[in-house]
């Protein structure tokens, strides 16, 4: 049987961001973990405009090609990890925009969080994101990676240097995501336009 696909979504897009290094580090861990097929999804590359669909995403009735592409990509995954910084006590607008574009594609799928920031380690961004993902009927796992003082953990070569505690939290997150994500598999349904809510 093939492994479930885990998409690791990089939630910051600005030049010089720490997010790319954190996401790349976590993807390496996820591949080593062995429970998932792993795909990095960089929202800077996905490059969605601000939400511009006329219909509620719940209908799956999309008029824009960029939305159809985003829908097809997200639909492929069985679980997600959102890699999020903390911006002004919350999460980046680009991440909310990417979530808002779709609806049933996310539904009943497990989601975990890798957050980073200053002293708060992105925990406030994560708390707010949980409200959003449960509204989309995603199932957040409690185990998470929270990285404080992110700037101190980016090496001269631009890679993320994890502490032992952070490495341990990544393993727990992946174990839990596999457990919950596998249990949810029977609930996943393909998204077709206009088949209700």
List residues near ligand FMN by CB under 6 A. 12, 14, 17-19, 85-89, 117-118, 120, 150
Measured from the CB atom, is 53 or 127 closer to ligand FMN?
A: 127
Measured from the CB atom, is 10 or 67 closer to ligand FMN?
A: 10
Tokens coding 106: 């996310």
C-alpha to C-alpha distance for 21 and 25, rounded to whole angstroms: 6
Q: What letter would DSSP give residue 3? A: P
The contacts of residue 109 (CB under 8 Å, 6+ apart) are: 77, 78, 79, 80, 138, 139, 181, 184, 188
**Residue 35 C-beta-side C-alpha neighbours within 13 Å:** 19
Measured from the CB atom, is 61 or 120 closer to ligand FMN?
A: 120
Q: How far is the CB of 178 from ligand FMN (least distance, A)?
A: 26
Q: How far is the CB of 16 from ligand FMN (least distance, A)?
A: 7
Measured from the CB atom, is 114 or 184 closer to ligand FMN?
A: 114
SS3 107: coil
Helices 123-135 and 93-100 pack at an angle, to 10 degrees, of 10
Burial 112-124 (b: 16+ CB within 10 A, else e): bbbbbbeebbbbb
Measured from the CB atom, is 109 or 153 closer to ligand FMN?
A: 153
Measured from the CB atom, is 6 or 22 closer to ligand FMN?
A: 22
Strands annotated E in 132-183 = 139-140, 145-147
User: 87, 90, 113: which is closest to 22 by C-alpha?
Assistant: 113
Q: How far is the CB of 104 from ligand FMN (least distance, A)?
A: 29
Q: How far is the CB of 38 from ligand FMN (least distance, A)?
A: 20
Q: How far is the CB of 96 from ligand FMN (least distance, A)?
A: 14
Q: How far is the CB of 47 from ligand FMN (least distance, A)?
A: 16
């Amino acid at each position: 049987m093939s492994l479930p696909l885990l998409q690791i979504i990089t939630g910051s897009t600005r030049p010089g961001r720490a997010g790319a290094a954190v996401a790349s580090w976590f993807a390496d861990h996820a591949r080593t973990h062995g429970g998932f097929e792993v795909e990095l999804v960089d929202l800077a590359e996905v490059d969605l405009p601000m939400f511009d669909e006329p219909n509620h995403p719940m209908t799956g009735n999309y008029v824009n090609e960029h939305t159809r592409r985003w829908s097809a990509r997200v639909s492929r995954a069985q679980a997600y990890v959102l890699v999020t910084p903390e911006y002004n006590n919350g999460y980046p607008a680009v991440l909310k925009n990417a979530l808002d574009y779709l609806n049933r594609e996310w539904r009943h799928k497990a989601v975990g969080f890798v957050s980073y920031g200053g002293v708060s380690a992105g925990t406030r961004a994560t708390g707010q994101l949980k409200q959003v993902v449960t509204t989309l009927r995603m199932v957040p796992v409690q185990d998470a990676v929270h990285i404080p003082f992110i700037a101190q953990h980016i090496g001269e070569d631009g890679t993320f240097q994890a502490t032992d505690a952070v490495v341990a939290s990544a393993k727990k997150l992946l174990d839990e995501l596999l457990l919950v994500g596998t249990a949810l598999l029977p609930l996943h349904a393909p998204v077709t336009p206009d088949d209700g809510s």
